[in-house]
Amino acid sequence: MFKIEMIDDVKNLPPDIREYEEDYYDADCTSYLLMYRNGKLDCYATDHMEPEDVRFWRDLSWIESWIKKAYQYGVEDGKREVTDNTPAAEALENLLNRVNDDSA
């Protein structure tokens, strides 16, 4: 299973990340996204921007890849939870095919 955790205080980060992130000048106003896969930290991202710095020119393209990664992990976990010969697995596969066709 995967889990996404949103943290808004550098003090609540896992120690190895906190050690690196707390040295940034804006650590007190930075938000953090942590993605866990099978109980282990897979990756994390930070916005490193103060509220008044939120502008359209900011490169937030990483958000799309995060959403796609989370979706893919969810699909993989969902498929693992149902066997290939069950009606639920077939229904899931049909739904995913329709979603993928619509997004193409």
Write the CB contacts of 47 (distance below 8 Å, at least 6 apart in sequence). Answer: 30, 31, 60
What residue numbers bound the domain in which 70 lies?
61-104
**Same domain flag for 29 and 68:** no
Query: Rounded to an integer, what distance in angstroms lies between the CA atom of residue 91 and that of residue 95?
Result: 6
**Same domain flag for 43 and 5:** yes
Give pLDDT, residue 74.
84
**Same domain flag for 49 and 70:** no
Q: For 25-74, write each residue's pLDDT tens digit.
A: 777 778 889 999 888 999 998 887 777 777 777 777 788 888 888 888 88
Give pLDDT, residue 35.
92
**Same domain flag for 72 and 93:** yes
**Same domain flag for 47 and 70:** no
